[in-house]
Amino acid sequence: MYCRIVTKQASTPDLSILPSVERVLSDARIASRTDRCDRRILADVVRDTIAALRQAVLAGHEPASGTALLDLVVADVEQRLALALTPRLAPVINATGIVLHTNLGRAPLAPTAVQRITATAARYSNLEVDLSSGQRGDRHLLVEDLLCQLTGAEAAAVVNNNAAAVLLTLNALGMDREIVVSRGQLVEIGGSFRLPDMMQRSGAVMVEVGTTNRTHLADYETAISERTGLLLCVHPSNYRVLGFTTEVPLADLVQLGGRHGVPVVHDVGAGALLDLRPWGLPAEPLVADSIAAGADVVTFSGDKVLGGPQAGLIVGRRAAIEAIRANPWMRALRCDKLTYAALEATLRLYLDPQSLPEHLPVLAMMTVTPATLRTRAKEICTRLTGLQTKGWQIEVVDSVAQAGSGSLPLEEIASIALTVRPTGLSVGDLAAYLRQGDPAVLGYVRDDRLHLDLRTVFAEEVPDLVAALDRAAADS
């Protein structure tokens, strides 16, 4: 006796229910988008949407059919188009209390720098033309006089950030030679970017001296040989080693280098151009002091305490700077006309130090008094009475702000914040809602409250901040 086993076949998904690409493109809701997006691009988006839906049907999902299915496809296409047409780089209200927030673009530019960017971007410029002679010019000369005047250096060069400035300097002056550096200065900056790795990429051989916490002049002197290309001194911008420590003063290092004919490079990181103490801020290494101490090359950032655009600034003795400019990597790492426009405008503000806090946003944010911020916070509270009647808890509290980006790493700046505890949604959901708004608002969550530090919120952003909280309450 035989037993016949019959396997039940799964029903074949009906893919015919899916609308065609042409059917979706001819829908009035999609066809109207051709004024903002080429039809071929629209067709690609529609194909992607239908392909995703096809995979869902093959996986056993049963979507709607007919008009309902078409509406579903159109809605998905519209959502994809909205994402494609929405700028990825968008304004953000920074309520974190971190003035130079790396993830938020560091220094907000001065209005005059923004104006120069706009004027330069809209037309041709004399980026590399000497207008007096009609011959080819040098873009470095656009800001060299300003940098030399503000630092006391003989010459200057500009690249796209300070990491590039250090890498280019090491390659130009130390390739295939030994570079002596203290173990206590082998820093790692954001994104796991380490000085030893940069040294290797530069083509130089790193020679470590001293220990993590103590390095003496004799350590450097013992390491110097006929293969030594330069002595490197690195300011530990984003940390401090405290306690039983010793580091060699730059001036002593310069004297040692002079005796042996070895140049000294000082990477000061943030790179302050003037003393911040008159405005109640801690001292930050001055570029001019490094030049005065005799450093052959000093490298620093343009978008930290200097308050300008992202750039790596290289100043020092003319012979060293000319060697750096002649390096083939100079062209690969150079800045464009917009950076030069913003940098020149920012540097010119330093010619009148007394009015600097009035015109430079970074310094204005760092120096505004807590009393002024408290007054602003109370005014905001009066505009949020609607939220408080709904049960939202809003308080004005003392806060602590930071310079950020490795500037003044151990210093806390007294500040004022609004704390918000909503009803109808969690604090985490409120933070997420504000992050995804237009404009986005970024604060920080602590003790089950959303903190909005006002030190980093521009006065003109307050109405947008209030509106964002009002929308969050209305949608909760």
Q: Tell whether 168 and 296 lie within a shared domain.
A: yes
Q: Tokens 């052959």 identify what position?
A: 296
User: Do the domain assignments include residue 257?
Assistant: yes
Containing structural domain, residue 412: 92-100+365-475
Which helix (H) or strand (E) segment holds residue 72: the answer is helix 66-85
Q: How buried is residue 337: exposed, middle or buried, by Cβ count under 10 Å (0-12/13-18/19+)?
A: middle
Q: What gap in Å lies between CA 233 and CA 238, rounded to an integer?
A: 15
Last residue of a domain, one of 335, 359, 383: 359
Tell me which residue has tokens 């002079």.
258
Are residues 137 and 257 located together in one domain of the fold?
Answer: yes
Whether residue 11 has pLDDT greater than 90: no
354 shares its domain with 372? no
Q: Is residue 317 part of a domain?
A: yes
Domain end: 343, 359, 375, which one?
359
- Assess whether 412 and 307 both reside in one domain: no
440 and 345 housed in the same domain: no
The structure's pTM equals: 0.88
Reduced DSSP (H G I as helix, E B as strand, rest coil) percent helix, strand, coil of the chain, to 5: 45, 20, 35
Backbone torsions φ then ψ of 181, nearest 5 degrees: -145, 145
Q: What is the mean pLDDT of residues 200-213?
A: 87
Tens digit of each residue's pLDDT (9 = 90 or more) over 268-289: 988 899 998 888 887 788 999 9
CA diameter of the chain = 108
The tokens describing 14, both together, are 């009906």
Tokens describing residue 105:
């673009």
Q: How far apart (Å, rounded) are the C-alpha atoms in residues 195 and 337?
A: 29
What is the number of helices (H) and of strands (E) in the chain? 20, 15
Exposure string over 254-289, b if 16+ CB within 10 A, otherwise e: bebbeeeebbbbbbbbbbbbbebeeeebeebbbbbb
Angle at 277 between CA 275 and CA 281, to 5 degrees: 115
Say which residue the tokens 């304004």 belong to.
91
> What separation, in Å, do the N-terminal and C-terminal C-alpha atoms of the chain show?
70
Q: Is residue 5 part of a domain?
A: no
Q: Looking at the structure, do residues 118 and 267 belong to the same domain, yes or no?
A: yes
Strands across the sheet containing 444-446? 393-401, 413-421, 449-453, 444-446
Does residue 369 share a domain with residue 355?
no
Q: How far apart, in whole angstroms, are the C-alpha atoms of residue 234 and residue 146?
A: 24
DSSP 8-state assignment for residue 306:
T
How high is the pLDDT of residue 168?
95
For residues 333 and 376, state if they share a domain.
Answer: no
Give how far Cα 447 sits from Cα of 132, 190, 215, Å. 63, 27, 42
Residues 354, 443: one domain?
A: no
Question: Binning pLDDT at 50, 70 and 90, where does residue 408 land?
Answer: low
Task: Single out the residue of 300, 302, 281, 404 nearest to residue 346, CA to CA.
Answer: 302
Q: What is the pLDDT of residue 59?
A: 83
The contacts found for 407-413 with CB under 8 angstroms, 24 or more apart, are 407/100, 407/237, 407/269, 407/270, 407/284, 407/304, 407/305, 408/270, 408/281, 408/282, 408/284, 408/305, 409/237, 409/238, 409/239, 409/240, 410/240, 411/281, 411/282, 413/99, 413/281, 413/366, 413/455
Q: Which of 169-173, 211-215, 350-354 has the lowest mean pLDDT?
A: 211-215
The pLDDT of residue 2? 39
Residue owning tokens 């940390």:
239
Assign residue 243 the CATH number of its domain. 3.40.640.10
pLDDT (tens digit per residue) in 237-264? 655 666 667 888 999 999 999 999 999 9
Residue 36 has what DSSP assignment? T
List residues bridging with 404 in a β-sheet.
Answer: 407
Domains of the chain: total: 3
For residue 443, give the amino acid letter.
Answer: G
| 379 within a domain of the structure (yes/no) | yes
Looking at residue 279, its pLDDT comes to: 86
Whether residues 164 and 303 share a domain: the answer is: yes
pLDDT tens readout for residues 150-171: 999 999 999 999 999 999 999 9
**Can you give the pLDDT at residue 380?**
95
Per-residue confidence (pLDDT) for residue 421, from 0 to 100: 96
pLDDT, mean over the chain? 90
**Do 460 and 382 reside in the same domain of the chain?**
yes
Residue with tokens 């807590």: 370
d(C-alpha 351, C-alpha 245), whole Å: 37
Q: Domain for residue 166, yes or no?
A: yes
Residue 7 lies in a domain: no
pLDDT of residue 120: 96
**Residue 418, domain CATH:** 3.90.1150.180
Nearest C-alpha neighbor of 468 from the set 444, 434, 443, 436 = 434
pLDDT of 20 strictly over 60: yes
pLDDT digit string (tens) for 361-401?
A: 999 999 999 999 999 999 999 999 889 889 999 999 999 99
Burial of 90 (0-12, 13-18, 19+ CB in 10 A): exposed
